Amino acid sequence: DAGVIQSPRHEVTEMGQEVTLRCKPISGHNSLFWYRQTMMRGLELLIYFNNNVPIDDSGMPEDRFSAKMPNASFSTLKIQPSEPRDSAVYFCASTMDRGAQHFGDGTRLSIL
């Protein structure tokens, strides 16, 4: 079975550029989560959706970050404009109701 699919796996871009990260959750899962992982702060929840509706975005750092889920099989996390401090690994996870979250392999983002 296909797991959570994230793209790109790696992204290197200059500060000020727009970055779009993509996620395809596991088919049939109704909740989707975006996380950021750094050595300094560990794994942080940015936002999660339930049935395509954003439920909790309290972890989104600032207005430069936005996330959308136009349908049950696709979500994006956008950073505009990007800054060097946004460099991190970004994970997407999905689950059915309150079950165990299943993670993708992440996007390693480097902002120069």
Residues forming the site for other proteins (CB under 8 A): 4, 31, 33, 39-43, 45, 48, 50, 55-56, 91, 93, 95, 97-98, 100-106
- Among residues 33 and 65, whose Cβ is nearest to other proteins? 33
CB of 106 to other proteins, least distance (A): 5
Cα–Cα distance measured from residue 54 to residue 28, given in angstroms and rounded to the nearest whole number: 18
Taking Cα atoms as reference points, which of 26, 2, 1, 3 lies closest to residue 97?
26
- State in angstroms the smallest separation of the CB of 92 from other proteins: 8
* CA-wise closest residue to 41 among 55, 59, 57: 59
Residue 2 vs 98, nearer CB to other proteins:
98
Min dist. Cβ of residue 87 to other proteins (A): 14
